[in-house]
Amino acid sequence: MSVFLVMALTSTLATHGAPETPPCPDGTTLDTNRCFSDRLESANADLARYVAAVRARLKQEAKEAQSGDASAADGAKGFEAAEKAWSSYRDLECGDVYSYWSEGSIRDVEDLDCQIKLTRLHTHTIWLQWLTYMDSTPPILPEPPVPPEG
């Protein structure tokens, strides 16, 4: 990853935190787990929308490409491979979080919170890399929220 990209992402994360999400209401462990599950479902739905927009953009660009220009087609192949790798990474990372907290009832919330945060960060990365332009052209979709640090 280039130094510029790391600096840009760090700057974006520092200045564009997610809107305040109200805490899950006090209740039973099952109530809390349900609340976090709903949040993960929302994060996954947002990710799916942004991924679909990337696929549509790449498909359109491949259709419009001049003969011999395979950059959009190559980008689509690379994007699909990266999505598979990212999904595997999220499963492994958050599965390890679950294992780390396996002795307590908090394990489900920790796992779900891990998945939510990684999904929100990934959605933002997709937006930054694939759905924005180098000039003043507006992005294809609005900037998604990113989770606050901590």
User: pLDDT tens, position by position, for the chain (150 residues)?
Assistant: 333 333 333 334 333 444 567 788 788 999 999 999 999 999 999 999 999 999 999 999 988 888 778 888 888 999 999 999 999 999 999 999 999 999 988 999 999 999 999 999 999 999 999 999 999 999 999 999 988 765
pLDDT value of position 78: 95
Cα 20 from Cα 93, distance rounded (Å): 25
Dihedral through CA 79, CA 80, CA 84, CA 89, nearest 10? 0
CB crowding 69-85: b at 16 or more within 10 Å, else e: eeebeebbeebeeebee
Q: Which two structure tokens, joined as six digits, stand for 141?
A: 């979709």
Residue 137's contacts (CB-CB under 8 Å, 6 or more residues apart) are none
CB count within 10 Å of CB 15 equals: 8
The residue written with tokens 């790798």 in the block is 85
**Predicted local distance difference test score (pLDDT) of residue 71:** 86
* Cα 150 → chain centroid: 17
Angle at which helices 107-130 and 3-15 pack, to 10 degrees? 120
Amino acid (one-letter) located at 13 = L
CA 42 – CA 54 distance, rounded (Å): 19
